[in-house]
Amino acid sequence: MIQTLEDMIRKFCPYGLEFKDSDAFTHDWCALIPELELSYKTSIHASTGKTPSILEKGWSPKLPVDTLKKDLVNIHPAASSFKLLLDKVSYHENKSMNDAF
């Protein structure tokens, strides 16, 4: 976890410990820790297949994106067809992997 947070801080705070850019955004790594912790704890990890929040507490916190009503979101038709294509590719990829073993 520490290495992952360190990598995240390096990606989101490239200017050192504290720096304000021309748009007045503060790149203070201490201010980023709560958001990075939430991001880490709500991400599914490859080794367990679950989020750290679920493993630690038995539940996962609701994120702002979870409150969106799915039927109110307008999805571009090209995005929908691309998702169908990706689903087919994923299906055939999994089938090929299972057939190989």
Q: Tell me the three-class secondary structure of the chain, residue by residue.
A: CHHHHHHHHHHHCCCCCCCECCCCCECCHHHHHHHHHHHHHCCCCCCCCCCHHHHHHCCCCCCHHHHCCHHHCCCCHHHHHHHHHHHHHHHHHHHHHHHHC
Where do the structural domains in the chain lie, given as residue ranges?
2-100
CA–CA dist 1, 8 (Å, integer) = 11
Residue 22 has pLDDT above 70, yes or no: no
Per-residue pLDDT tens over the stretch 24-40? 565 667 777 888 888 88
Per-residue pLDDT tens over the stretch 45-78? 889 999 999 999 999 888 887 777 766 667 788 8
pTM for the full predicted model: 0.52
Residue 19 has pLDDT above 60, yes or no: no
* pLDDT average, residue stretch 68-95: 83
